[in-house]
C-alpha cells in the first residue's frame, strides 16, 4: 500500500484530462459539425447509423446506439442506430468462420445500405476490423466516419468525417470519444427537431 501519492495522481489525471479537453475543443469543431451534418442527412433520408469498435470502443458503440434508439434528452421518436458489437452469434460465427478482421465488415455488408453512416470507433486508428468495415462501407456508398486518436493512424485515410482526438493516451481518447458521441446524440436530436 502507499506506492503512489494518490492526491498527486488524482490531480495529474484531472490536469491531463483538462488539457485534452481544451485541445479537442480547439481542434474538432469543424469535423464534429461535419459528422452531425452527415448523420442528420442520412437519418432524414431514411438511413441509419452503424456504430462499431473493440473493447472500450465496443461499449461506446453500444452506449451511443442506445442513446439514439431509446432517448438522450427526453422521450421522443426513435432514431435508427445499431451497434455491430452486440450479436454474440454473429460475432462468434464471423470470427470463427471468416476471421476477426471481418467482424464488422460482414455486418456492414449485411445490414448497411447506401446513404447510411458507418462510425468506426478506434483509439489507435489501426484496428484491422474497423478499417475493413470502413472499406466495406465506402464500397457500398455508406459514409465512412470515425472517432479516433493517436494521430489517426490508417483510419484517417478512409474516414471522412474523421474526429482525431489530439492525444496518445488511450484513457483520455476514450473520455473524449464518449463526450463527442453524446454531443452527437444531443445535436442529432435538436437538428431533427426532436428535443424541443
Q: Domain tally for the chain?
A: 1
What is the separation of C-alpha 104 from the centre of its chain, rounded to a whole number of angstroms? 13
pTM of the model: 0.96
- The answer to whether residue 7 is domain-embedded is no
- The answer to whether residue 163 is domain-embedded is yes
- The answer to whether residue 36 is domain-embedded is yes
pLDDT digits (tens, 9 = 90+) for 10-61: 999 999 999 999 999 999 999 999 999 999 999 999 999 999 999 999 999 9
CA distance readout (Å), 4 to 144, 171, 172: 43, 19, 20
Nearest to 174, CA basis, from 135, 127, 123:
123
**C-alpha to C-alpha distance for 7 and 15, rounded to whole angstroms:** 12
The CATH number that applies at residue 119 is 3.40.50.10490
- The answer to whether residue 182 is domain-embedded is yes
- The answer to whether residue 3 is domain-embedded is no
pLDDT digits (tens, 9 = 90+) for 107-152: 999 999 999 999 999 999 999 999 999 999 999 999 999 999 999 9
pLDDT digits (tens, 9 = 90+) for 166-185: 999 999 999 999 999 999 99
Grid cell of 12 as nine digits: 495529474
Residue 91 belongs to domain spanning: 28-191
- The answer to whether residue 16 is domain-embedded is no
- The answer to whether residue 9 is domain-embedded is no
- The answer to whether residue 1 is domain-embedded is no
Amino acid at each position: 500500500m502507499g506506492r503512489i501519492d494518490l492526491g498527486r495522481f488524482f490531480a495529474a489525471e484531472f490536469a491531463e484530462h483538462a488539457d485534452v479537453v481544451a485541445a479537442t475543443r480547439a481542434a474538432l469543431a469543424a469535423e464534429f459539425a461535419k459528422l452531425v451534418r452527415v448523420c442528420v442527412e442520412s437519418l432524414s433520408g431514411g438511413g441509419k447509423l452503424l456504430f462499431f469498435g473493440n473493447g472500450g470502443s465496443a461499449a461506446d458503440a453500444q452506449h451511443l446506439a442506445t442513446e439514439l434508439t431509446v432517448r438522450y434528452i427526453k422521450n421522443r421518436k426513435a432514431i435508427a442506430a445499431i451497434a455491430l458489437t452486440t450479436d454474440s452469434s454473429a460475432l462468434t460465427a464471423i470470427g470463427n468462420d471468416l476471421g476477426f478482421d471481418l467482424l464488422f465488415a460482414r455486418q456492414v455488408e449485411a445490414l448497411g445500405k447506401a446513404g447510411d453512416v458507418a462510425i468506426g470507433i478506434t483509439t489507435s486508428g489501426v484496428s484491422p476490423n474497423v478499417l475493413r468495415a470502413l472499406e466495406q462501407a465506402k464500397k457500398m456508398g455508406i459514409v465512412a466516419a470515425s472517432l479516433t486518436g493517436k494521430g489517426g493512424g490508417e483510419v484517417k485515410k478512409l474516414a471522412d468525417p474523421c474526429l482525431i482526438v489530439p492525444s496518445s493516451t488511450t484513457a483520455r481518447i476514450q473520455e473524449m470519444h464518449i463526450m463527442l458521441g453524446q454531443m452527437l446524440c444531443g445535436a442529432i436530436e435538436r437538428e431533427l427537431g426532436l428535443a424541443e
